[in-house]
Amino acid sequence: MCYVALFPQLVAGPIVRYNTIAEQLHTRTHTRSKFYRGILAFQSGLAKKILIADVLGGVADAAFEGGNLDALHAWIGALAYTFQIYFDFSGYSDMAIGLGLMMGFRFPINFNQPYRSISITDFWRRWHISLSSFLRDYLYIPLGGNKKGPVRTYINLCLTMLIGGLWHGANWTFLAWGAYQGFWLVFERLLGKRSLYSKAPYFVQVALTFVLVIFGWVFFRCESIGEATSYLSAMFGLAGDTAHGLALRPIHLLAGLAGAVAIWGLPTTQELIYKAKPTWVLPLQIAFWISILHLHYVSHVPFLYFQF
């Protein structure tokens, strides 16, 4: 009952399973250091949500709901959603981890710099770790995992990702997104560790994986397969003569730049809160209080994962 009532992890995904914190329910320590780090994690998560995810969410909404776009602005819209969904959910996870620390609980990391992944397989080791491990333990392994030959392994991977897609909602786009992820997981296994791709420079692997992830998020964001197909066509410059652009403002550029720095230039939030250097803590306080002030001037924007 204590576990079920542990509110930081109730709403958006598993976050932690009972056996992860069972011992902590009996014995844990409350320290000033934990409470301080918990505050920093919570502040970081709120700043991610308000100042990056919500700002870029406006760009993503305009792109995906505004009709045909030219290629440049279609890419900008897809990139905005790619940033939005990451900072929205990693922000929620940081807030949950921070609240847990304030109460003496240590929750496992849920995002480990997923947009630095060098493959889709690597991406799923870093993205929404609590969900991917849940799918692994309760779907992939019970189906046989990789213990019943390569063909069965490929089938199990695809089934796991298809069901993982449907977990987000009963929509063909989620099924397509799961199939897309399963295809790349199988394809990478077929290539093996000695493929030409694996010998490419690190930044090439990261860039290519990031582009593949962006294409996947298009299916995830659209309401129908037709919309997703049209949007992908626009990204390749096939929108036709009715294509138009987006109304971008300096704040959108600033949020995108801050997001890029956070993704590719900074360690994880968990690493930062344990070092807690003034060069990071002081800017975080400014960002946190700007977030608080911003909440007074905007309508409520729920976390994306609350809908799943």
Contacts of 92 (CB under 8 A, 6+ apart): 12, 45, 49, 303, 305
Q: Give the pLDDT confidence score for residue 12 in this predicted structure.
A: 59
Residue 178 tokens, joined: 């799961």
Segments of the chain with pLDDT less than 50: none
pTM (two decimals): 0.93
Cα dist from 248 to 106, 114, 157, 217, 261, whole Å: 40, 27, 40, 21, 20
Domain ranges across the chain: 30-109+246-308, 112-238
- Classify residue 108 by its DSSP letter: P
Q: What amino acid positions are annotated as catalytic residues?
A: 168
Q: 276-306: per-residue pLDDT in tens?
A: 889 999 999 999 999 999 888 776 677 777 7
